Structure 1
Amino acid sequence: MTGHQAPTRDPGLQPERTRLAWRRTTLAFTVVAVLAGRQAVQFGVTAPGLMGLALTALAWLGFLGVAHLRIQQLSTPRPAPLTPRTALAAFACVAGLAVFAVAILP
């Protein structure tokens, strides 16, 4: 009886497309964070606006970290699936950006 081996998976270009999607999402997140910063200083600097701006920058840095980690994971020959922890961190950054934008609005 011979041992049965699972066929080798050929991921094709799927990891590359996913890596590019993470980069596009990071770029869009950066644009939104910059526009939020512009909104915060456009009508004068207020305490809630500064707090919202600081938290927006923190959310942006968090998302950059999550995206960088995921892009590195996708560069391996057999990338691991997205973990729930990474997905939750990305969601928290995006949701946080939306909440912090409310503090920036005049």
Structure 2
Amino acid sequence: MNTDAVAPERDPGLQPERTRLAWRRTTLAFTVAAVLAARQVAGGDLSAAGFVAVACSALVWLGFLRVAHRRVLALGSGPRPPAMSVPAALAAVACTVALAGFAVAMVV
């Protein structure tokens, strides 16, 4: 029996495509939240802290776009995409939590 045989190439099926689409949906939802924050500023009834929160929301949105774009590109790199790095995952979580925090700051 030959134990040196190479394992067959894994066929991931449509899983990378579904994951790419999930990242794009998440990015769209994040964009909607950032646009609603900008709309809050357009209303004119926002304090100075609210303006700072909106500006920070825009920066967090840009950071999340960067993380998501890198992940979508990595998922399209081949039949077996690499696992998401821990710093990238932490950045995505931090952006999400920060956006929620800034939303609370705008409302209060």
- TM-score scaled to structure 2, two decimals? 0.90
Root mean square deviation, CA, Å = 1.5
Cα deviation per residue 1:12-55 (whole Å; 9 max; x = unaligned)? 11101100110010001000111122123324242111100110
Counterparts of 1:56 and 1:29 in 2: how far apart (Å)? 10
Aligned mates of 1:92, 1:41 — CA distance in 2: 26
The residue type equivalent to 1:20 in the other structure is L
Q: Residues 40 and 104 of structure 1 are in contact (CA less than 8 Å); yes or no, is this contact kept in structure 2? A: no
TM-superposed deviation, 1:83: 1.6
Corresponding residue for 1:11?
Answer: 12
Alignment partner for residue 82 of structure 1, among 81, 84, 89?
84
- Structure 1 ranges of 4+ moved more than 6 A: none
Identity %: 58
Relative to structure 1, the CA distance from residue 103 to residue 40 in structure 2 (aligned partners, 3 Å threshold; closer, same or farther) is farther
The gaps in structure 1 that reach 5 residues or longer are none
Give the gaps of 5 or more residues in structure 2: none
Q: Name the structure 2 match of 1:28.
A: 29
CA distance in 2, matches of 1:4, 1:83: 31
Structure 1 residue 4: Cα displacement: 2.2
